[in-house]
A and B are shown apart, each in its own frame.
Chain A
């Protein structure tokens, strides 16, 4: 009896060895993390099976999509085969989704499976072992417990930005003030300020609008033109002046008008209301000053 038993075992081992030779599970890749799995997680197993001819792994041998064991459902199945030597090499990908629920951590498993290969005279199968993992509930106990245990999220540490907006504001403010000063100031605070027309404008603003000031007012503006031109500027030379100083080109008409008016008042005994004349000259001079600073 003992001999018979030993013989049976040897025969069984021989058969297993023969089967193993016909189809082999050469690789099995389980999910990398086996803890902290929660409901809804998708777990994937990859198998590589090599089978010799005439054995083949049919798609029907694989678990069916939607099959559920202990709350673990087969979500997707894929099978790829390629020739390898005198047989085939199969790559199987099994995706499971966890639908089991538990209010405590517990061990669960991806189910074991047996894949039957067809084609030969004798049945050949490949066994896939179960894979165990720790299921972790999303909340401890029931929802009421979770509520009572809920803690506020930790706020992210704030960057120290206190000085930057202040500096930016101050810089913008200073630039703005500088711009306003540049546009409106008459004095030579900076090297490029206090040009001829800025000086003339300052003098014109101080000039009392009374009779007898006309010649003085016209003179201030003429002096500014003379300084800019580098010599005495007369009406017939305006074309040359504007060609040399194109920044005043936009006021060509007004400049010519000024020279005409000046000639009439200075040389042809023309009369003008002093207040109106000085106001007009101030306006023109201010625009010329803007051209001088190239901000017009």
Chain B
């Protein structure tokens, strides 16, 4: 009986998840893969970093997703003079001319906060990163002599890769807190590109996001349902061995015969994927399996999220750090090509 109820619950939520995807796809064109990955992150309860150029639609995408999830949505812009307390409170003169203190964007909505969007996070100082790291990991904050709980919050951050002036590289520990780093590219399809330029509905991002049906997902039930998915989707010993091999390959790719052109493989990796990273990989993969209507993990579920979950966690030798984006993509692709399912 319980199983039937769970099956019904799984099917019902899957329908909602796919509906959210369809809604967002209807306003954000050419980003189907990114939308699927964001959907996976929502149900795996993981924070997401979006990576891409300027004006490719990252903010609109996140606004659309936030509207679909429901709950409160807050955002802050990363700037070089942004301080941690700017997230927690702000001061102003009240109507009576007396200074007043109000809750900042992180605390304003309280437990109803479902999406916190940190725009251009790499422009903020490391102190801000430190605060965000703590909130992302613990989902609560002590302020105004009391505990603020943020149990439903997911952080979406974006990182402008083009400009490097007055930016602070996000340290490896901070990157590791994000479940995924999703690249957002301009679509290559010519029809879609024409549509983005000539279709006037894409000129008003705010209006575009409002077309998404709001509250498709009951945001305050996502944590509980995520646990259901994680407990429901099983993995076989063969798949577990396969995942361990993949993990080993992120740490010592040379042992698997993996080579990259112009790279000394012995010196490339300083640290491979962390246990937390591998745990997040499996969480995301289980959600993918659930979306694909499966009760068991298949390698393709791992593959579907491998690059986005693992690439940003790899710590390269400093001599290769400047080529991180390209090398990380090549390395994860080579790992998937090389490591076979053990039998």
Given contacts A234-B303, A267-B297, contact A223 B340 (CB under 8 A): yes
Nearest Cβ in chain B — how far from A271, in angstroms?
12
B300: A residues at CB distance < 8 A = 234-236
Is the CB–CB distance between B340 and A269 below 8 Å? no
Count A-side interface residues using an 8 Å CB cutoff.
18
**Extra 10 A-B pairs, beta carbons < 8 Å, given A223-B340, A267-B298:** A220-B343, A222-B341, A222-B343, A232-B339, A232-B340, A236-B300, A267-B296, A268-B294, A268-B295, A269-B234
A to B CB contacts below 8 Å, 22 in the list? A215-B343, A216-B343, A219-B343, A220-B343, A222-B340, A222-B343, A223-B340, A223-B343, A231-B337, A232-B339, A232-B341, A234-B300, A234-B303, A266-B341, A266-B343, A267-B239, A267-B296, A267-B297, A267-B298, A268-B295, A268-B296, A268-B298
Chain B residues contacting A226 (CB-CB under 8 Å) are 340
B339 touches A268 (CB 8 A): no
Q: Which residues of B contact A232 (CB under 8 A)?
A: 336-341
| A222 cross-chain contacts in B, Cβ below 8 A | 340-341, 343
A219–B342 touching, CB < 8 Å: yes
Give bound CA distance, A291 to B301, whole Å.
31
- Binary CB contact string for chain B from 268 to 290 against chain A (1 if under 8 A, 0 otherwise): 00000000000000000000000
**Bitwise interface map of A from 237 to 273 toward B, beta carbon under 8 Å scored 1, else 0:** 0000000000000000000000000010011110000
* Chain A residues whose CB sits within 8 angstroms of the CB of B239 once the complex forms: 266-267
Is A204 on the interface with B (CB-CB < 8 A)? no
Interface contacts (Cβ under 8 Å), in number, total: 49
Q: Is B15 an interface residue (CB 8 A)?
A: no
Residue from B234, B340, B342 having most chain A Cβ neighbours under 10 A = B340
Interface of A is mostly: helix
Whether, in the assembled complex, B238 has its beta carbon less than 8 Å from a beta carbon of chain A, the answer is yes
Which of A218, A263, A268, A269 is B343 in contact with, Cβ under 8 Å? A218
Tell me which residues across on chain A come within 8 A of B231, comparing CB atoms. none
User: Smallest Cβ distance from B29 to chain A, in angstroms?
Assistant: 24
B165 on the interface (CB 8 Å rule)?
no
Q: How far is the CA of A245 from the CA of B235 in the complex (A)?
A: 32
Residue numbers of B with Cβ under 8 A of A are 234-236, 238-239, 294-300, 303, 336-343
One of B238, B340, B342 near A267 (C-beta < 8 A):
B238
| A 192-223 binary contact with B (CB < 8 Å = 1; else 0) | 00000000000000000000000110111011
Q: Which residues of A contact B296 (CB under 8 A)?
A: 267-269
Measured CA separation A267–B295 after assembly (Å): 10
> Are B299 and A234 touching (Cβ within 8 A)?
yes
Asked if B337 contacts A266 (CB within 8 A), the reply is no
Q: Which residues of B contact A267 (CB under 8 A)?
A: 235-236, 238-239, 296-299
A244 to chain B, nearest CB (A): 14
B212 CB, nearest partner CB in chain A, Å: 30
Q: How far is the CB of B116 from chain A (nearest CB, A)?
A: 35
Q: Across the two chains, which residue of chain A brings its CB closest to B234?
A: A269
Contacts of B299 in A (CB 8 A): 234, 267
Interchain CB contact under 8 A, A266 and B236: yes
Assembly CA distance A234 to B341 (angstroms): 9
Q: Say yes or no: B337 contacts A215, CB within 8 Å.
A: no
Chain A residue with minimal CB distance to B301?
A267
**Nearest CB in chain A: distance from B259 CB, A:** 13
Residues of A within 8 A of B303 (CB): 234
Q: How far is the CB of A144 from chain B (nearest CB, A)?
A: 97
A223 and B340 CA atoms in complex are apart in Å by 8
A215–B341 CA distance with the chains assembled, in angstroms: 10
A residues less than 8 Å from B341 (CB atoms) = 219, 222, 232, 266
B236–A269 touching, CB < 8 Å: yes
A83 to chain B, nearest CB (A): 96
Determine how close the nearest CB of chain A comes to the CB of B39; give it in whole angstroms: 19
Residues of A within 8 A of B339 (CB): 232
In the bound complex, what is the Cα–Cα distance between A223 and B297 (angstroms)? Answer: 21
Q: B340, A268: Cβ atoms under 8 Å?
A: no
What residues of chain B lie closer than 8 Å to A266, measured between beta carbons? 236, 238-239, 341, 343
**Shortest beta-carbon distance from B131 to chain A in Å:** 41
Taken together as a complex, chains A and B put the C-alpha atoms of A9 and B209 apart, in Å, by 151
Question: Chain A residue with minimal CB distance to B333?
Answer: A231
Cα A215 to Cα B297 in complex, Å, equals 17
Known A216-B343, A218-B343, A234-B303; contact A263-B298, beta-carbon cutoff 8 A: yes
Separation of A126 and B15 alpha carbons in the complex (Å): 128
For residue B258, give the distance in angstroms from its CB to the closest CB of chain A.
11
Cα distance, A263 to B343, chains bound together (Å): 12
For the complex, what is the distance from the CA of A19 to the CA of B234, rounded to whole Å? Answer: 135
For the complex of A and B, list the 7 residue pairs with the smallest distance between their C-beta atoms, beginning with the closest: A219-B343, A231-B337, A268-B296, A232-B340, A266-B238, A267-B236, A215-B343
In the bound complex, how far is the Cα of B27 from the Cα of A277, in angstroms? 49
